[in-house]
Amino acid sequence: MTTSIQKFRIYLKFPLLKELNLAKAGETDLLFLKIEIFKEFDFCSRYKIQIVPLMKFNRSILIKTFDLSTLMSTKIMAILNRKWEKTDKDGKTLIRVKGRDYFDLMWYFSKNITPNFFCIKGIKAKEELKEKLKSLIEGVDLRSIYIDLEQFIEDEKFVKNLSKNIREILMASLNNSL
């Protein structure tokens, strides 16, 4: 394993993908893990910490993490507040949003997780959150969703179909979940 540290990020590289039959010849053997550490979690006063055992491929680790409701809230905070874009070498904007944020939100909805409302800064009520998310979902750039997700999901046809339909999927989930 190798590590590198940048400000509040730690990058870990584990040489185990071939051992786990997750990489083919010519592909990297490294599993990359990025950990972001924030000393001040001041926007949330009520949350739970849990210890989750992870046992896969004859390996095990205990992970200390927020509960899923709080993690969902941090994802919602990212969607509501993240100012990010990816540009090419000439400064032309290629991606306006992180598609993975919306993909993750879809995952939380699919698991029927309710966000920890104590951890969503600036939101007073469920209906206010619903309206803000609806507005962002309606205006999300579908091309950005596609370009961001294609690097993480191998099935290109799935990524194309998902990026075309993610608004509809998220709106239905939002209406059913919140």
Residues 78 and 98 reside in one and the same domain: yes
Distance CA 175, CA 178 (A): 6
Cβ-based neighbour number of residue 113 at 10 Å? 16
pTM comes to 0.82
Q: Please state the domain count of the chain.
A: 2
Q: Residue 48 sits in which domain range?
A: 41-177
Residues 98 and 21 reside in one and the same domain: no
Distance CA 4, CA 100 (A): 24
Q: Which pLDDT value is given to residue 41?
A: 66
Place of tokens 């179909």: 161
Residues 15 and 49 reside in one and the same domain: no
Residues 33 and 47 reside in one and the same domain: no
Residues 120 and 146 reside in one and the same domain: yes
pLDDT profile of the chain (178 residues), mean per 10: 84 89 89 80 80 88 91 93 86 89 97 92 90 95 94 94 97 89
Residues 83 and 162 reside in one and the same domain: yes
Residues 81 and 6 reside in one and the same domain: no
Q: Which pLDDT value is given to residue 40?
A: 67
Residues 12 and 76 reside in one and the same domain: no
**Residue 168 carries which DSSP code?**
H
Residues 51 and 24 reside in one and the same domain: no
Which residues does residue 94 pair with via DSSP β-bridges, in sequence order? none
Q: Which pLDDT value is given to residue 16?
A: 87
Rg for the chain (alpha carbons), in Å?
18
Residues 28 and 50 reside in one and the same domain: no
Distance CA 156, CA 146 (A): 9
Residues 48 and 65 reside in one and the same domain: yes
Residues 72 and 135 reside in one and the same domain: yes
Q: Which pLDDT value is given to residue 8?
A: 79
Identify which of 23, 11, 133 has the alpha carbon closest to the alpha carbon of residue 73. Answer: 133
